[in-house]
Chain A
């Protein structure tokens, strides 16, 4: 790397440099500050590398879980760089953090995907990187031709100088461009009308590797001298290891070591979920057999009497009392008393598991003064923190490589499995790959919280909703979070600026916490999945009970386009008119107004999640003996500007199916402190037969700024299904999952 280095401020925390690669290409990116891994690591750190043959490698700094970010972010760079997309390949970058006086900062921009922010938070940043590289090439050409830079422009892969009629391919300019300082001022970005790549139909850039089995997921990691580890986990929530007999386990060929892993104090914030016994072997199978042969005595757990029955009983009882009022707009009691009709319903939303198809796993190699982690993770900085906490090694000496992730859904925001792997490597001194079995995964998750919701609304003589309340008793996601006061637990479960805030004058939200010992965490679109289901189902009930049409009632409440303040994630504003547009659109597509025969019906729902808008219309049949058929699905999203529309559609398909699969059959239950489900036979994800061929996706463009997508597409699917079931059968689904509730 022989580069003249010049820093420019891209934004407050990030710096750009240009340089030349070993092969003489142009490299533009971020300096590998304090690089002590040699040139190969420095190379990986760069965002763009243009070779002299004009081919381009773009670094993707975010974890790829199937949401398409590995393709979408390079599209932003390539757009502003002005190259043919076919010339681009992509390289996954590792975690980059740099020690500063008061902590750590990012080396390659913020890294981590949750809350559908992967694209939105990198939108400006990645485009600026591309535009800066293009400007370097233009300046190199201008210098060579003896003209001013503004007399030159580009077409894909080529700098053109109109007045001289000269064209120079990027590849011929890279050596010169690498020698030029980067000006302080960021170059202007393209106008939306000039986009040639953003918003166009592109395919997943590494699909060939995926369909030929060449992609390496975390579970596929193989490193020199690597051993294999599994952990025997407590059958009862929070039980601790009392003692174990490993005589038989150690007799198994290939078993190398067996020892206790210490978990957090019961009730304390999670480091890992709970204690267990680790088995290390020379193959996965030997480790699993060794684990089966262990005899473990567990301490009695305080959660040994936890059960789902008790959880629901307690929630029912709680709703008979007064909870924590977290929102109280207008004069709720007076308005409710004045209503000519009051409608009420209670809905149950169960705990569910993430169950990404790639089970949790992590490679760790802890040495004296450094540590190497290879993990499928949504939050690589969390992986670095987790490994630092259990090894005591400073984070700048922990190298975290990210693999393609076999599904995340929020599970891999938590890096407990990274901490476990680091503990096992530290204890043995070996490089190890920890694997969770599917049973480990389903029985030991940070589940989506279950809760009992009570909805009540009053309408006046004109059918206008004048008072509305939602009362929720649930296990908050914030349970066992560090520094989390009890009075804030509700914040993970009720989003006060959601619908119908600002649309109903007298509005009250009330919360009751349930302390069941099930761990909980973020599950794709967190509380939006529960709240959209209950609110969109209840709106249907309210419409029918007050003699109104469910579509019209929604349109009346949502109204036209206007911005309402929204303080939660996805703000600062919420535009209910964008939901009106979507729900009208899907209703039209599915011929909502057309009468169906008995046993067939259509349901609608729409929801605003994390800055994006979505709606579903679903048509079902319900036979006399209660067999449900999903006949047709129309899904639509308004995500502002769709940068990578093919991936937006894929998310619309996948998110809808996730919502439906979960509503149809998924539930985690507890008895005697034990999670009752263990694998896909009793945690039955939907299969292809449940999903009709008649499935349309629509992207309704809005403005020139992208919102996230991955979570936005999910919440309205389940209530649209429940509303369709009601339209077809007259049966109202108030408890999820639907299971066999329709059986006569």
Chain B
């Protein structure tokens, strides 16, 4: 039995403890915002937060999150009416094309901004490695800077 918290809910999973966290989230918990894109930790579509840090869930056995706390894209915003500042920036810049990579991009960015609250382009190049097949990188870069601004302004108030 693996027990963990996901977006404020407590969960017990009694299936194969080797099941990647991604498939527990998608198939068993029916939270489908976290995506499968490669299954080998290359694309970042499956990024969630484990105890607040970004992690690729496709290569993490569910047993590894026993007792830990997970946030998925569905649990990022405090309320539906008020998206997280990173989501707001994504909306302002109208980033998504097909949209498939975007939950992972957003989850990666939220964690990244914790450690780089005023990132340079170089910081972004080094740390944001999620794939976007549609090529939304131009807007992602702008949205990351914009999110940093929104978050800095939010802290000031």
Residues of A near any B CB (own CB < 8 A): 65-68, 203-204, 207-208, 210-217, 219-220, 222, 228, 253-254, 283-286, 289, 355-359, 404-409, 435, 437-438, 646, 650, 653-658, 661, 679-681, 685-689, 691, 693, 695
Contact = CB atoms under 8 A, between A and B. Distances in A.
A211 B128 contact: no
Contact of A285 (B19, B35, B98): B19
B106 interface: yes
Contact of A212 (B77, B94, B134): B77
Contact of B33 (A214, A409, A438): A214
Contacts of A215: 99
A283 B35 contact: no
Contacts of B87: 211-212
Contact of B27 (A284, A359, A688, A695): A284
A70 to B, nearest CB: 11
Given A214-B74, A217-B35, 4 more contacts: A217-B99, A228-B27, A358-B37, A653-B136
A653 B100 CA distance: 17
Interface in B80-96: 80, 83, 87, 90-91, 94-96
Given A653-B136, A687-B129, A687-B131, A283 B27 contact: yes
Interface of B: 15-16, 19-20, 23, 26-28, 30-40, 42-43, 45, 72-74, 76-77, 80, 83, 87, 90-91, 94-103, 106, 121, 124-126, 128-141
A213 B139 contact: no
Given A213-B72, A222-B32, A685-B133, A680 B42 contact: yes
Contacts, number: 186
Contacts of A685: 131, 133
B37 A211 contact: no
A208 B95 CA distance: 11
A207 B90 CA distance: 9
B27 A208 contact: no
Q: Which are the 5 A-B pairs with shortest beta-carbon distances?
A: A213-B33, A657-B135, A66-B98, A406-B100, A66-B97
21 contacts: A203-B94, A210-B99, A213-B74, A214-B74, A228-B27, A283-B19, A356-B100, A357-B98, A357-B100, A404-B98, A406-B35, A409-B133, A437-B39, A653-B137, A679-B39, A680-B131, A681-B42, A688-B130, A688-B132, A688-B140, A695-B138
Given A204-B96, A650-B139, A691-B137, A211 B106 contact: yes
Given A213-B72, A357-B37, A203 B134 contact: no
Contacts of A220: 26, 32
Contacts of A356: 98, 100, 133
Contacts of A359: 36-37
A228 B141 CA distance: 37
B33 A357 contact: no
Nearest to A253: B16
A529 to B, nearest CB: 14
Given A212-B77, A404-B99, A688-B128, A658 B135 contact: yes
